[in-house]
Structure 1
Amino acid sequence: MKPKRILIAPMDWGLGHATRCIPVINELLHQGAEVVIAADHRPAALLRREFPQLEHVRYPGAVIDYPANANMAWTMFRQLPVFFKGIADEHALLDTLITDHRIDGVISDNRWGAYSSRVPSVLIIHQIRILLSRYIRWAQGIVDAANRKLIRPFPEVWIPDLPGADNLSGELSHGPRLPKNAHFIGPLSRLVRRDGMPKSLDILAIISGPEPQRTLFETMLVEQLKPTTHKALIVRGTPERNVKMTLTDTLTLVGALTADELSEAIASTALIITRPGYSTVMDLCALGARAVVVPTPQQTEQEYLASRLMASGICYAEPQSGFRLERALERSAQYTGFRSTTFDAAVLRQRISHLLTAAA
């Protein structure tokens, strides 16, 4: 039988949507599918480095500006026309990609326009509920309804978490009114635990996310690490500029690491400093890592996850404004870190098998 050709399309918003597609791609390949990776900018660069042997196509989406200091809600609101035009454009382009690349099925990671009536389409999403800041919580019902409308065109929804109380995403994926076609496929991580490695690093900083906040976070960490004697590596989250720089005898920067390289770096470090993006949380849980988390300013998802991890005694969290490295290191000692967890991929295997059968 001819292999099914599955297009997988991660959102261009940091690197997390791309990194969590890696175990999905690996399982598709394991089940005999031909995978076409449709991405743009940094996600495209990361996945091209991870899977150089696969077919890659450019799949641009809406370019949304993230504020440096302005109000997040207002910044997003005024860009809604750009957002919805981007969805329409990527939906139209997908039709061309399906024809030109003989696509049998589509997996979208938060690409709202990446669905088609011509082939089976799946949406990977953990934000079934987009939490609002307390200042505009009066609009939560409106946003929930809009989010459900965006999800509705997809015949199947995959939530990368566990059902029930023992979960990672909390209210983001376990709020009221789950889609009837939703399946909890278990957390997704590209990383593999490495035991018994010596701790050659004091600090590993993993940076990602939208600009300009990615650069602001990197600059802050460099300024605070340079005067210290902490042996540190900063992974900048810039796979398109993967240059290694040695700033001092103890501080090194690198654009990006492959899954194997990052697994080894995490196993070799005493403490991680990172954003609490959901994909990062899944990775930290998979490896049983100790971390300090610094949410992207005004990104309510990360602020919620950070407060949840801190309240559970797992990670120390501190806002970017006023972040002090030495204070964070001292206070992090009071937190347990993640308990290493082996994620069961049985449901993921089952849903991919179902997708490949439906694509027949």
Structure 2
Amino acid sequence: MKNKKRILVAPLNWGLGHATRCIPIIYALIEYNFEPIIASDGVALSLLQKEFPSLSSIELPSYNVTYAKKGKNFKLKLIKDTPKLINAIKAEKKATKAIVEMQNISGIISDNRLGVYSKKVPSVFITHQLNVLSGNTTWLSTKMHGKFIKKFTVCWVPDAKGEINLSGKLGHTNSFEIPTKYIGPLSRFKRSMVEPTNKILILLSGPEPQRTLLEEKLFSELKNYQEKVVFVKGIMQKEQTIQVLGNMTIYNFMTSQLLEKTINESELVISRSGYTTVMDLAKLNKKAYFIPTPGQFEQEYLAKRLTKLNFVPSCNQDEFTLDKIKEASRFEGLKAFDIEINYKKLFNLF
């Protein structure tokens, strides 16, 4: 039997979304007889190691990005962190060069890691942000992002190409110089028709300190809530912990299988409006309530857009109260357009 081609799969460690949307890609690579090698850092790496314990994994240099405590300082903090980011990208570029040579890599799939590419092998960049929103500097952040993406062979956008899509202006632009393929929304989940057993599921993730701030807020809002609540904190630890407080069951994290089952069994999901969450909830046809990360333009845009389209209500973190979730019944909920991803065609690149 000939050796399997090795494909390096490298998601950005920024919340859990980039790692989780790589899960279906990794399964597809295995199915088409490739050998995926996982490369990331922090919680993204540990999530994928738990999901694929038999695959090789490599730790990449960390971007070490945290959010500002106040939303309005988000951009400022990011600008301040830019030298750190540039250094991290240089470091991961150097690491990638060594990995490609030492591990005999035949192709690269990078989910938003700007330095993980090689001139020697086909390199794919996955992003839903062809336009990088940053308020009045959107033109600049988009241009800078594009400059990095140009170094890759092709860009995969996890969305539909047409009018009806999930990412709106983030993933759709008139002028983009890099070969781009709309591959359809990515989700590790499958929908199952079950009667809901939980009234609310809370799904948290994303960088600190905002993750903790929302956790504290939701705890105080829900402590006297009478119906059944499942609370997933989105903290990756060695062991899973489960705590029961009254009508609330609290998990530090869930693996894919349990999370899929729990979302399917929940009437309403309260979460951030990160793009991966949007794709997952659309796949499972869920009603949701979105609270975007303060100051994160992309999440604020997605939440506003989906509220305007009458899919999902949303509000700012400061404004959230338990009463708000009553609005969800007036909204349609998220729906997926069933696009089968043609992995065979995508993997022809390798």
Report the TM-score when normalising by structure 1. Answer: 0.93
1:253 is aligned to 2:224 = no
Q: Is the 8 A contact 1:286 1:343 kept in 2?
A: no
Which residue number corresponds to residue 192 of structure 1? Answer: 190
From 332, 336, 339, the equivalent of 1:343 is 339
Alpha-carbon shift at residue 236 of structure 1 (Å):
1.2
Displacement over 6 Å in runs of 4+: none
Q: Is the 8 A contact 2:42 2:62 kept in 1?
A: no
Alpha-carbon shift at residue 171 of structure 1 (Å):
0.4
| Matched position secondary structure for 2:105 | coil
Which residue number corresponds to residue 169 of structure 1? Answer: 167
Q: Per-residue CA shift, 1:219-238, capped at 9, x if unaligned?
A: 11111111211211111111
- In structure 1, stretches of 5+ residues that fail to align are none
Alpha-carbon shift at residue 82 of structure 1 (Å):
0.7
Distance in structure 2 (CA, Å) of the matches to 1:26 and 1:64: 28
1:318 is aligned to 2:315 = yes
Which residue number corresponds to residue 24 of structure 2? Answer: 23
Residue 87 of structure 1 aligns with an amino acid whose one-letter code is: I
1:276 is aligned to 2:273 = yes
1:300 is aligned to 2:297 = yes
Alpha-carbon shift at residue 187 of structure 1 (Å):
0.7
Q: Is the 8 A contact 2:8 2:38 kept in 1?
A: yes
Distance in structure 2 (CA, Å) of the matches to 1:13 and 1:65: 9
Distance in structure 2 (CA, Å) of the matches to 1:335 and 1:253: 27
Alpha-carbon shift at residue 280 of structure 1 (Å):
0.5
Q: Is the 8 A contact 2:154 2:180 kept in 1?
A: yes
Alpha-carbon shift at residue 241 of structure 1 (Å):
4.9
Distance in structure 2 (CA, Å) of the matches to 1:3 and 1:244: 37
Which residue number corresponds to residue 94 of structure 1? Answer: 96
1:329 is aligned to 2:331 = no
From 82, 95, 99, the equivalent of 1:80 is 82
Distance in structure 1 (CA, Å) of the matches to 2:326 and 2:36: 46
Between 160-169 and 232-241, report the one with greater CA deviation.
232-241
**Following superposition of structure 1 onto structure 2, how do residues 181-260 of structure 1 map, counting pairs within 5 Å?**
181-195=179-193, 197-260=194-257
CA RMSD of aligned residues (A): 1.4
Distance in structure 2 (CA, Å) of the matches to 1:97 and 1:234: 39
| Matched position secondary structure for 2:318 | coil
Give me the identity figure in percent: 36
Alpha-carbon shift at residue 329 of structure 1 (Å):
1.7
Q: Is the 8 A contact 2:131 2:173 kept in 1?
A: yes
Seen in structure 2, the aligned counterparts of structure 1 residues 68 and 247 have a Cα distance that, compared at 3 Å, is farther
Distance in structure 1 (CA, Å) of the matches to 2:27 and 2:177: 26
| Matched position secondary structure for 1:240 | coil
Distance in structure 2 (CA, Å) of the matches to 1:241 and 1:2: 33
Q: Per-residue CA shift, 1:92-114, capped at 9, x if unaligned?
A: 01111122322111110000000
Q: Per-residue CA shift, 1:327-349, capped at 9, x if unaligned?
A: 22211111111224433112x43
